[in-house]
Amino acid sequence: MSSKPTISFGSDHGGLALRRDLIEALRAKGYSVLDRGTNTTESCDYPDYAHAVGADITSGQAALGILICTTGIGISIAANKMPGIRAALVQNPDAAALSRRHNNANVLCFGAKYVDLPLALTCTDAFLTAEFEGGRHSRRVDKLESCG
């Protein structure tokens, strides 16, 4: 990658600590970050943060997004409801890289219950350095965009 993309972050209360730690680590690596919250440990609704991050991506304010909730399931479902968003819930760096290479994923999702900071950093690095391969994968991604 020649320049580092702007990354939009969001989480509910279950992903707050991991989100803050990831933001700090990526800022230290020179990434620009948009932090869409939450900023409290009080119960809140993950779709609000998925929509905020998705809006950043579809508007062009951010190239990529990272979303976190307790399991990663709810926030990835919410993100994938948005046109133009391809969110991948991952728990290992191979899946993170393949989500970009084969699915042109633009949002990386984590479950804070299952992914600690070192693993999240490794997965994030794999996601950010992978590039979409196109070819036969383009046909499939185009079909995803025509769903719904």
Q: 134 has which bridge partners?
A: none
Among this protein's residues, is 137 annotated catalytic?
A: no
pLDDT of 148 > 60? The answer is no
Annotation says 69 is catalytic: yes
Contact 32, 6 (CB under 8 A): yes
Model-level pTM?
0.95
Which member of 102, 109, 123, 147 is catalytic?
Answer: 102
Strand order in the sheet with 87-89: 33-35, 7-11, 64-69, 107-111, 87-89
CATH topology of domain 7-146: Ribose 5-phosphate Isomerase B; Chain: A, (3.40.1400)
Each residue of 56-93: pLDDT tens digit? 999 999 999 999 999 999 999 999 999 999 999 999 99
Encode pLDDT of 126-145 as tens digits.
999 999 988 889 888 888 88
Catalytic residue among 44, 69, 109, 123: 69
Task: With beta carbons less than 8 A apart as the criterion, state whether 68 and 23 touch.
Answer: no
